[in-house]
Amino acid sequence: MMTTEDRPSAKFDAARRAMIDSQLRPSGVNEPWVLGAMARVPREEFVPAEFRSAAYIDRAIPLGDGRYLAAPLVQGKMLSEAAPVEGDKALLVGDGKGYLAQLLRPMVGSLDAVAPSEAKSATGEGGYSLVIVDGAIEELPETLAGRLADDGRIVTGLVLRGVTRLATGRKSGGHVALLPLAEIGIPVLSEFAAAKRWSF
């Protein structure tokens, strides 16, 4: 006879609680609205079937086609730094049907998503008060920075000398300067690689 603890959903519920208690809280992610969202959204539904049992481990999970689902702590810290509010017009550079989009959508007034391969397009909509890049970039293209409204915020991973860090920025005077924060493992987005420069 199968007990409550034997049901797959119960095992995932327990893994979700463990994620919060052993990964997020000890690393400083304690905002109730972040923890509440990550407790509600079933992360296992956003990974390939063969990785469902590993959905809550503290490392990135391959999604196929060179894409990865970042570790839970990465998304928790991104949301904490973004501090989304109901009035935000938000843009996610990433999968609009993915895990981070599912976490973010109820927190903002509106959420659009654009694939990394399309994020450099100069034809995209602008006026966003919040941009979140679901991955690490080497440089921020002007076309993407241009989509931010004045005083808009951006949260992204940033590659610095081969090391990924969480970074935040705010648009002022038409420009966005990124401030690197904590070093943390974030899947790198090849679409945002810096142009190769000659050196002598």
Question: Could you tell me if residue 198 is inside a domain?
Answer: no
Question: Could you tell me if residue 199 is inside a domain?
Answer: no
In this prediction, what percent of the chain has a pLDDT beyond 70? 93
Residue 147 has pLDDT above 70, yes or no: yes
Q: Give the pLDDT confidence score for residue 125 in this predicted structure.
A: 86
Average pLDDT (167-193) is 94
What distance in Å separates the CA atoms of residue 59 and residue 70, rounded to the nearest whole number?
7
- What is the CA 105 to chain-centroid distance, rounded? 12
Average pLDDT (126-155) is 95
Residue 195 has pLDDT above 90, yes or no: no
Q: Give the pLDDT confidence score for residue 4 in this predicted structure.
A: 44
Order of strands, sheet of 148-160, starting from the edge strand that comes earlier in the sequence: 110-114, 89-93, 128-137, 148-160, 163-172, 175-183
Which segments of 52-147 are extended strands (E)? 61-64, 67-69, 89-93, 110-114, 128-137
Question: Could you tell me if residue 154 is inside a domain?
Answer: yes
Structural domain total, the chain: 1
Q: Give the pLDDT confidence score for residue 1 in this predicted structure.
A: 41
Residue 42 identity (one-letter amino acid) = P
* 55 and 8 Cβ atoms separated by less than 8 Å: no
Tell the residue number behind the tokens 């401030």, with chain if given.
179
CATH number at residue 60: 3.40.50.150
Residue 50 has pLDDT above 80, yes or no: yes
Average pLDDT (70-82) is 97
Q: Give the pLDDT confidence score for residue 123 in this predicted structure.
A: 78
Average pLDDT (111-122) is 89
153-165 burial, b for 16+ CB within 10 Å, e for fewer?
bbbbbbbeeeebb
What distance in Å separates the CA atoms of residue 122 and residue 197, rounded to the nearest whole number?
23
Structure tokens at 150: 């004045």
Question: In 10 A of CB 146, how many CB atoms?
Answer: 13
Q: Supply the range of the domain harboring residue 107.
A: 4-192
Average pLDDT (111-130) is 90
Average pLDDT for the chain: 92
Q: Give the pLDDT confidence score for residue 8 in this predicted structure.
A: 64
Q: Which of 195, 75, 186, 183 is nearest to 142 (CA)?
A: 195
Structure tokens at 157: 């991973």
Does this model's pTM top 0.75? My answer is: yes
Average pLDDT (159-171) is 96
Question: Could you tell me if residue 83 is inside a domain?
Answer: yes
Q: Give the pLDDT confidence score for residue 124 in this predicted structure.
A: 80
Confidence category of residue 37, pLDDT binned at 50, 70, 90: very high
